[in-house]
Amino acid sequence: MLNQLQKQIENRSCTLAILGLGYVGLPLAITFVNAGYRIIGYDINPEYLNQMRNGISKILDISSQELKDALATGRFSLTSVPSDLEGADVHIICVPTPLSKSRQPDMSYIESALATLLTVWGPGKMAILESTTYPGTTQELLLPTLSRNGLKLDEDFLLAFSPERVDPGNHKFPLHRIPKVVGGSSKASTQAAAALYGAAFEQVHTVSSPTAAELAKLLENTFRNVNIALVNEFAQICDSLKADVWEVIEAAGTKPFGFMPFFPGPGIGGHCIPLDPQYLVYKSRLHGYEPRLVALADQINVERPRYVVQQAMDILNTQGKAINGARVLVLGVTYKPDVPDPRESPALPILEFLAEKGADTHYIDPWIPSIRLKNGDEMLSARDLKEEAAEADLIIILTAHQNFDYELISKYGKKLLDTRNAVSTSLRQQPN
């Protein structure tokens, strides 16, 4: 039966189910449709599915036209009905893995996707987990769950982990060009999963176990987290020395080997980089090792928004103004430029701290028309940069969106806190 599955994967006659159609699942579904497979897209959000059925994509990397084209092939169906997954041979799980309030792994989405999968699970199938998670999840959670009712790995089913590496908004690397790491729970599982991804992706790199693949993903994102913390700390050192950290990074970046530039900012955001290292910390602690560097990096990055508010108070102070009652204009609230995603953005705590201090805060973000703060308050994006900038006592650039008018903003140098060095970078890039 599993030999048949391997053949169906190779000749692209098998049906894939993708559970969770967000930033990761939808691009993956379209990539497999383009490779000739039949896809059942399953998501628990029926409204979102209806939007997609009407040809509207809210995922930045998938245009509405690409979505319509995929649906028009007749090989891509959308459902929130678990029994529709019956016909799928391979189930790929792409659901969120956030942290709980106490910054512990929140496995509830994976558990709920597994509960759905169990309703249609049986001999001859393969499951693949793509969600970022703690090392051991595939072997310790998925394997026993899928082995229920006497089903056996390799005799009845296959299982693998393959981390997602999508970088939303990065047009240089479309999904199929990003090498795919694959680690199966058995040799046959690795082989089948590698054949599947090999049909749609340019390069597949296999490792000896799902745990190695889970760890590879955590190493990639912890590497970014720790280096961002290093440069954030370095920026604070430069501030205390009245040196320009951007000039220093540019100079260090001329070294052709052994250095990779990272850039400071108001904090760290997105669904991955701030959260994923905590999955590593959690598992490491269970095994008796207390990670120090990873925990310290998290602390430095988490403290950054408060430092930005302190800088804001210092600038206002030089103008003889208190933050209480000052009109503050925040530019950009997404976690990175030119994406419609405010998840874990440092703008959120910064807006909250500014409100706590009594600032009259406004924001402009062309990607985010409104934003809800933790205290429940909703803020609406202002539109007129010229008017808002003229009225503000302080302008803080938090996200360097391409379409901000940096020439206009540069005129407000004395009341500008540019946490991204966006103004000088943009003005330098302008043709003479």
Task: List active site positions.
Answer: 272
Shortest CB 23 distance to ligand NAD, Å: 4
> By CB under 6 A, is residue 95 in contact with ligand NAD?
yes
Q: Which residues inside 378-407 make contact with ligand NAD, applying CB under 6 A?
A: none
Q: Which residues inside 220-279 make contact with ligand NAD, applying CB under 6 A?
A: 271-272
Which x/- pattern over 13-32 shows residues binding ligand NAD (rule: CB under 6 A)? ------xxxxxxx-------
DSSP string, 35-97: TT-EEEEE-S-HHHHHHHHTT---STTS-HHHHHHHHHTT-EEEE--GGGGGG-SEEEE----
> By CB under 6 A, is residue 97 in contact with ligand NAD?
yes
Among 8, 15, 57, 131, binds ligand NAD (CB under 6 A): 131
Strand 416-418: give its sheet, edge to edge: 360-364, 327-331, 394-397, 416-418
> By CB under 6 A, is residue 11 in contact with ligand NAD?
no
- Per the DSSP assignment, residues forming a β-bridge with 361 are 328
* Count of residues in contact with ligand NAD, rule CB under 6 A: 28
Per the structure block, which two tokens stand in for 397?
Answer: 């650039």
Which x/- pattern over 146-165 shows residues binding ligand NAD (rule: CB under 6 A)? ------------------xx
> By CB under 6 A, is residue 109 in contact with ligand NAD?
yes
CB contact burial 131-143 (16+ within 10 A = b; e otherwise): bbbbbbbbbebbb
State how far the Cα of 158 lies from the Cα of 96, in Å rounded to an integer: 23
- Name the residue nearer to ligand NAD (CB basis): 46 or 122: 46
> By CB under 6 A, is residue 206 in contact with ligand NAD?
no
- Per the DSSP assignment, residues forming a β-bridge with 364 are 331
What one-character DSSP code corresponds to residue 401? -
Q: Which residue is nearest to ligand NAD (CB)?
A: 22
| Residue 249 and residue 230 in contact, taking contact as beta carbons nearer than 8 Å | no
> By CB under 6 A, is residue 367 in contact with ligand NAD?
no
State how far the Cα of 327 lies from the Cα of 316, in Å rounded to an integer: 10
Residues within the interface to ligand NAD (CB under 6 A): 19-25, 42-45, 48, 94-97, 109, 112-113, 116, 131-132, 164-166, 168, 271-272
